[in-house]
Amino acid sequence: MRAAGMRAAGMRDAAPPLAGEIRGLCRAPGPRPDRLPPPAAPGLGLSHAGRIAGSRRRVGPDALPRGLRCPLLASRGEPEPTPGSRAGGRPLRPQRRPLLHQSRQHPTLPPPLGTYFNRKFCTSIVAQDSRGHIYHGQNLDYPFENFLNKLTVDVQFIKNGQVAFTGTTFVGYVGLWTGQSPYKFTVSGNERDKGWWWENVIAALFQRHYPISWLIRTTLSESENFEAAVYKLAKTPLIADVYHIVGGTSPREGVVITRNRNGPADIWPLDPLNGAWFRVETNYDHWKPAPKKDDRRTPAIKALNATGQANLSLETLFQVLSVFPVYNNYTVYTAVMTAASPEKYMTRIRNLG
C-alpha cells in the first residue's frame, strides 16, 4: 500500500500505543543473497497453457477435487469451501530465468506444514495514481520456490454463474494469501516477524482462532466493500500475527493493517493529499527501521518515487516488484491487481528454471 520524501525507516520511532500485543509466528529471517541477475521484461500477458495440465479447470461444489484437498487443513478441522461455490483454476505463464541455488542454513518443513510453521516473506504495495486509481501488488517469497512455482495457479470462485472472487494459491491448498473481489477490494497477507510457532498452535487448537489464509478467503467471499473487508481483517481473532494489505476502488482506499492475534496493532492508510500516495509493507512494523540484512522496503520506496505517481500502472508496479532485493531468489510469484478493473488481475511465476 508513499510519496517523495517519505522515510524508509517508517513514520514513527516507537510502537503504536495499543495494548495487548501478542507474539506471532516466526523469528527473524537469515541473510538473503546479495546478487541476482536483472529480471526479464514484464510482458504482462497471460496464457491458459502452463505447468498445470488443462487450460481451464472448474470443479464441483466442494471447490477442490478430493485429491487436491490439503491433508493438514482437513486434519485441523479448517472448513472446506461452502456448497454452491465452484473454483476455476487458471494455470499461469511461467517466467523463465536461471534459478540461483542458495544453501539453507536452517531446517525447513515441507508444505503444507511450512504454511503454518516455517518462514515466508512477502512484499506488498498499495498505491494511488494521480487520477485516483488504486493499484495493489505482492511478491510472495518462500524457501520452497522451486517446488511451489510449479503448483501456483490463479483460481476463480464462481457463485450463481458469476466470478465472486479471484485468488492466487497452490494446488491442494484451500487458503489464499492474495486475492481480489471484483469492483470491491483487493487483499494480500504478509508474515509479521514476531513470536513462536507453538503460540500459533495454542491459538488454533484451544482458542479456535482463524487461520490467516482462510480469513483472507472468507473476507473475499463475504465482505461487500472495502470498509467491510478492512473491519473483518482487523477485528477477527487469528492464530498468528500478520500484515493485511487492502486496496479499494475509490481514492484513498488503501491501508496496511498490522495485526496482533486478537486485534489490530496499527492501521496505516494512504494519505495522498499529504504526499503519501503509496504504502510499502514487507515483514516488519513500518514505524521501525527495516533490518539491514533484509531491507526490501527501501529499494521499493526508491523505485516507487523514481516511477512517480503520474506514471503508476500495473506494468510499472510490476517493474517495482521486480527490483532486487524486492524480487529475490525466494520469490515464488508476483501478483498485480486493481479491483476497479478485475479483468487485469495478473500473476507471474518467478524463479522458474
The residues annotated with a catalytic role in the active site are 122
Nearest to 285 by CA among 307, 299, 264: 264
Cβ 117 vs Cβ 197: under 8 Å: yes
For the chain, the maximum distance between any two Cα atoms, rounded to a whole number of angstroms, is 52
Query: Which residues on adjacent β-strands are paired with residue 335?
Result: 138, 347
- Across 197-330, the runs of DSSP E, i.e. the strands, are 242-247, 254-259, 264-269, 278-281
Nearest to 294 by CA among 32, 27, 98: 32
- Looking up cell 494519505 gives 271
* DSSP tag of 313: -
The distance of Cα 6 from the centroid of its chain, to the nearest Å, equals 23
Q: Which residues lie below 8 Å from residue 32, measured CB to CB, with a gap of 6+?
A: 293, 294, 325, 328, 329, 330
* DSSP tag of 241: -
Tell me how far apart the alpha carbons of residues 173 and 68 are, in angstroms, rounded to a whole number: 8
N-term to C-term CA, the chain: 30
Tell me how far apart the alpha carbons of residues 266 and 152 are, in angstroms, rounded to a whole number: 31
Buried b (16+ CB within 10 A) or exposed e, 87-101: bbbbbbbbbeeeeee
